[in-house]
Structure 1
Amino acid sequence: MHDHAVGALLGLAIGDALGMPTQSMSPAQIRAAYGVRPVGAFVDACPNQPIAPDMRAGSVTDDTEQALLLAEQLIDGDGELDIRQYAYALLNWEDDMRAKGSLDLLGPSTKRALEQFKAGVDVERTGILGTTNGGAMRACPIGIANRPDPHLAEIARRSTIVTHNTEQGLESTMLVAAAVSYGIEGSEPVEAMLMACNYVTAYLAMRKFEGHGVGHWSPKASVLARTRWAINWARAHTGDASPDLYDHDMFAEQLRAIIGTSVEANESVPAAFAIATRYADRPYDALVVAANLGGDTDTIAAMTGAILGAVHGADAFPETMARTVQEINVLDLASTADRLLALSDRRNI
């Protein structure tokens, strides 16, 4: 299980770094900046990259950094999460990034929520408009630290309160965490994702039956419903089901048209699950497709990588990329995985 936990963190970091130079760009802009061939290796961000101009090849973004920040919070809390302390940790991270001159700071929902937190708004209210994917992008450590049991759901819920306290924030965070957890438990890729959907469905039903909240309502579409649909859609265009119907570009074009690739959780999370479904046994190809989609490429690739890395283990990705992303960003993902696993009872199985 250690190998699969490391794989989840490596998939997160490699996907993030691969999508870093293309994030927030259109497919046409990506081709104009980096060439007609898909970005399939770590490359320096171009000077007009809208979020990370000239960032060094192999650098991770806020996706990995905030996921590891959450990992440290869970480790320091012996598996529990103090949401006020978590909010202060995010604020301190933003200050550190600003001091380094980075433009790659907080996403829109997280930034708005933390500004309200600093202004004295109750922490239970700061995240009630957060429908983007900030909670989901940080969810991988929750899936490593917890088996797919009620505690995973509770920690996922608590992790969304400060910044993404909405139905979309809760569903997306739980989906990614549960898919990672099922992957580490030994499920096959599509099985892990479908079981994650069932897990979230059951949890939400239980919460409603008990009269508890499941995140603040938003008129935006359900992440859970769209993700389940996206998995089934992608299965119809996978392997023997339709060997010649869609090539990589056609699949990406259709995904953009009917699912979307924005920072909204109800687009980016279903997109990641669809890619992980179609490329379930080709993790590297999955990350390349995600990195060249256009839109929130780094986050989509990071979530895709976390899920497929959890299923396939550390060997799912090229060894040179695994080594490079850790060296450039000074990461020790094996140690982090070990400490997260120690929070669960997995070692005693």
Structure 2
Amino acid sequence: MADAALMDRVMGALIGGALGDALGMPTQLLSPARIAALYGHVEGFVAPAADHPVSKGLPAGAITDDTEQALLLGRILVESGERFDHARWVNALLDWERDVKARGSYDLLGPSTKRAIDAINNGVPAEDAGRGGDTNGAAMRIAPVGIMMPTEPLDALVAKVAETCRATHNTSIAIASAAAVAAAVSLGVSGGDWRAASGHAVAAARLGAALGHWVTGGDMAARIAWAQELVRGKAEKEAIKLIVDLVGTGVASQESVPAAFAVLEVAQGDAWRTAVIAANLGGDTDTIGAIAAGMAGACAGLSKLPQDRIAELYGIDIAEVRRLAADLVAARRSKAGPGKEDAA
């Protein structure tokens, strides 16, 4: 794939994720009924309610922890080289939380990440600190791994996902869910469409489920495939109800990650539509939107995303994102070798 086309897909993944994140920012943690009462049907960026538990005070179009941590992970990946630097990553997360607190934000580290970092600060080794992390924090920020790692060999991609999960989300469910998202992004970046990306995601989830500390919960690969089948061919309103009632939209990986793939199915791979659908689900709307629209953006490219909406994003430096994207592309090229990747 030509450099320009590859960069278009990479930027589509990162900026698509930001669109989904920002659109879901004011509706996160709210019920579908509350969202409808406040906004009707969210179709564009809106400011959060004054009493919102985590988003209050943010302007319409503001990104949240989903995008900020994804970009942070991308930078740590580039700086780490071949071996992921866990200490640098943990310190970067701590610095990030201090920074967002200083900005007056209420959207701080998620439950699994917070527990793990507290454990590390108390002397627990990084490989043990994440043994209880099963929420969606790893999946929400994993897109840069999918960008950096070639589509094949899939076990190498999944191994890199597991490596980045070790300190905070070192469980079978979290690794499987993050592997699914990273694999979908990687296939999109290589030129694949969203349907092919979904299939690749299921294969990656199967591999990821064998890694990390086993925790109880539904099989991620099976749940992703089931969630997409559940909504296939359904009208949007009916599909949303099925996602809310049956798949679930909470922070648990086995709810929000299959929900994101279901949203991708309903939207037929349209990145903005995925963001809109996710924002109206209720629950962890910003994370579901960031994951779903990031995967859709990887499969479509930045040039296919709504440029007017991108211009409305708040709190993101597009030029800085582009520099990170170029570094991740260079890393991907070096791993793939000449002529071995991105021929789709």
TM-score, scaled relative to structure 1? 0.90
Cα separation, 2, equivalents of 1:281 and 1:258: 21
Residues 79, 343 of structure 1: 8 Å contact kept: no
> In the alignment, which residue of structure 2 is the partner of 1:8?
13
Q: Give the Cα–Cα distance (whole angstroms) in 1 for the partners of residues 108 and 184 of structure 2.
A: 27
The answer on whether the counterparts of 1:171 and 1:223 sit within 8 Å (CA) in structure 2 is yes
Partner of 1:217: 214
Q: How does 1:279-290 map to 2 (within 5 A)?
A: 279-290=267-278
1:274-313 aligned at under 5 Å gives the runs 274-313=262-301
Matched, 1:20 2:17: no
- 1:126 lines up with 2:129 in the alignment: yes
1:264 maps to 252
Distance 1:25 1:347 in 2: 46
Deviation at 1:124, TM superposition (A): 1.3
- Structure 1 residue 127 displacement after superposition: 1.1
Listed as ranges, the matches of 1:1-349 within 5 Å are 1-34=6-39, 36=40, 38-78=41-81, 80-148=83-151, 149=153, 150-202=155-207, 214-235=211-232, 237=233, 246-325=234-313, 328-332=315-319, 333-345=321-333, 348-349=338-339
* Alpha-carbon distance between aligned partners in 2 of 1:160 and 1:281, rounded to the nearest angstrom: 27
Quick check: 1:80–1:155 contact (8 Å CA) kept in 2? no
Number of the residue aligned with 1:211: none
Question: Shift in Å at residue 54 of structure 1?
Answer: 2.4
Shift in Å at residue 348 of structure 1? 4.2
Deviations 1:47-102 (CA, angstroms, capped at 9, x unpaired): 12121112111111100000001000011123541112211111111111112221
Return the offset for 1:274. 0.8
SS in 2 for 1:329: coil
Deviations 1:239-289 (A, max 9, x none): xxxxxxx43222111111110000000000000001112212432222101
Name the stretch that deviates more: 151-160 or 294-303.
151-160
**How many aligned positions are there?**
329
User: After superposition, what is the alpha-carbon deviation per residue over 1:118-145, rounded to whole angstroms, capped at 9, x for unaligned?
Assistant: 1111111111111100000011000111
Separation (CA, whole Å) in 1 of partners of 2:172 and 2:254:
10
Q: Which moved more, 1:299-308 or 1:278-287?
A: 278-287
- Aligned to 1:4, the other structure's residue is in SS state helix
Q: d(CA) in 2 for partners of 1:232 and 1:293?
A: 18
**How far 1:199 sits from its partner (Å)?**
3.2
**Structure 1: which 5+ residue stretches go unaligned?**
209-213, 238-245
Q: What is the distance in 2 between the residues matched to 1:343 and 1:33?
A: 44
What displacement does 1:232 show?
A: 2.4
- Provide the secondary structure at the position in 1 that maps to 2:128: coil
Q: 1:133-166 deviations in whole A, cap 9, x for unaligned?
A: 0000011000111112343222200111111111
In 2: Cα distance, 1:24 partner to 1:67 partner: 20
Determine helix, strand or coil for the equivalent of 1:198. Answer: helix
1:231 deviates by: 2.2
CA distance in 1 between partners of 2:195 and 2:231 (Å): 10
- Identity over the aligned pairs, expressed in percent? 39
Partner of 2:3: none
Q: In structure 1, give the amino acid aligned to 2:283.
A: G
Greater CA drift, 123-132 or 17-26: 123-132
Query: For the structure 1 residues 328 and 216, does the alpha-carbon distance in structure 2 shift closer, same or farther, using more than 3 Å as the test?
Result: closer
Query: How does the TM-score come out when normalised to structure 2?
Result: 0.91
The one-letter code matched in structure 2 to 1:233 is L
| Superposition RMSD in Å | 1.6
